[in-house]
Amino acid sequence: MKGASAKRGKKAFPIKHWSHSSLMAFLRNPLAWYKRYVENIRDTPSNPSAVIGRAAHTALQHFYGGIGKEGAVALGLEYLRNVADFEVNFGKAKSRRAQKEKRMHMERDYLQAVSFYLARAPKHKVVGVEVVATAEVKGLALPIKAVSDLVVESRIQKGALDIVDHKFVDTFSKGRGQKTLFVMQAIFNYYTVKKKYGKEVRRFIVQECKKKKNADGSSQMRRYIIDFADVTDEFEVFHRLINDATTEIGRKRLYLPNPSDMFEGENSFDIYRLGLVDESANDSGL
């Protein structure tokens, strides 16, 4: 396989930009990252939870775009039903009957999750929905790219913007490790939204919706707010991490699998076992 190169100055890189998902993939499993983001081969099936999450995002995209709740839910359900069976990792559900039952279960979970969100949908003065933007950042050799679920007028700083990110989860996030993931994602969105709109960006708001109903009747919704005024040190770490990752992909190297990766470990090891990344990949400036 031959990886495409993106040139910036005299330096050749195998990708045109970094995104939060590509950076996390590279840190978790470099060989799976190479397959997906360099060769652009995306044949690894998604787990049902991910498909449900994308369907729910589709519903909210239309809801905040101005479509009524009923119509938005229907469009999300249409997305879910249009995902082909080969794109879903059904796990132990191997027979057609078992997979059909799994599909029905996925639809029930989707309808329940999106109904929880829309029952108490946060109100915003929406500036943009599903905002895709790329930004060149001083000090970084590669541009960065991000998709923001919602860009809204900030409620705490006049003239500034907030970014809202929707997550449909099995359990609410907690702990410092999760905070680090949120902050790294937030900075990607900060730079790209600031570039696109030319305005100050104040906060990154993670709006979590728990898909399973709480037995104690407590709220299915939880917010996690990152105020960019409070995470100045994390920007330095972000720049260092991006630059270190860029240095890694810019040098000649071997891409090794990570069998312990719970999502793509087996797939990446199969690629390695079969030798599907040939010597040309390691001689192309990677």
d(CA 268, CA 11) in angstroms, rounded, equals 28
Range picked from 61-75, 242-256, 261-275 for highest mean pLDDT: 61-75
* CATH architecture of residue range(s) 126-243: Alpha-Beta Complex (3.90)
3-state secondary structure of 188: helix
Q: Average pLDDT for residues 166-182, to the nearest whole number? A: 80
Predicted local confidence at residue 228, as pLDDT: 96
Percent of the chain with pLDDT over 70: 84
CB 210 within 8 A of CB 170: yes
Predicted local confidence at residue 12, as pLDDT: 82
CB 15 within 8 A of CB 22: yes
d(CA 145, CA 147) in angstroms, rounded, equals 7
- pLDDT tens digits for 84-104? 999 999 999 999 999 999 999
Per-chain mean pLDDT for the chain: 87
Q: Is the pLDDT of residue 177 over 50?
A: no
Range picked from 138-147, 208-217, 262-271 for highest mean pLDDT: 138-147
The enclosing H or E element of 101 equals helix 96-119
pTM equals 0.84
Which residue type sits at 35?
K
Q: Is the pLDDT of residue 10 over 50?
A: no
Residues facing 135 on adjacent strands:
144
Residue span(s) of the chain under CATH 3.90.320.10 come to 126-243
d(CA 149, CA 126) in angstroms, rounded, equals 11
The enclosing H or E element of 207 equals strand 201-210
Q: Is the pLDDT of residue 256 over 90?
A: no
d(CA 165, CA 151) in angstroms, rounded, equals 9
How does DSSP assign 74-88, residue by residue?
HHHHHHHHHS-GGGB
Q: Is the pLDDT of residue 133 over 60?
A: yes
Q: Is the pLDDT of residue 283 over 60?
A: no
d(CA 90, CA 172) in angstroms, rounded, equals 24
Residue (of 177, 251, 176, 210) closest to 49 by Cα position: 210
Please indicate whether residue 144 or residue 173 has the higher confidence score (pLDDT): 144
Predicted local confidence at residue 4, as pLDDT: 44
Q: Average pLDDT for residues 149-164, to the nearest whole number? A: 98
Predicted local confidence at residue 44, as pLDDT: 84
Bridge pairing between strands 144-153 and 201-210: unpaired
Q: Average pLDDT for residues 217-223, to the nearest whole number? A: 91
Q: Which two tokens stand for residue 257?
A: 């699998």
d(CA 190, CA 184) in angstroms, rounded, equals 10
Q: Which of 157-161, 249-253, 274-278 has the lowest mean pLDDT?
A: 274-278
Predicted local confidence at residue 272, as pLDDT: 42
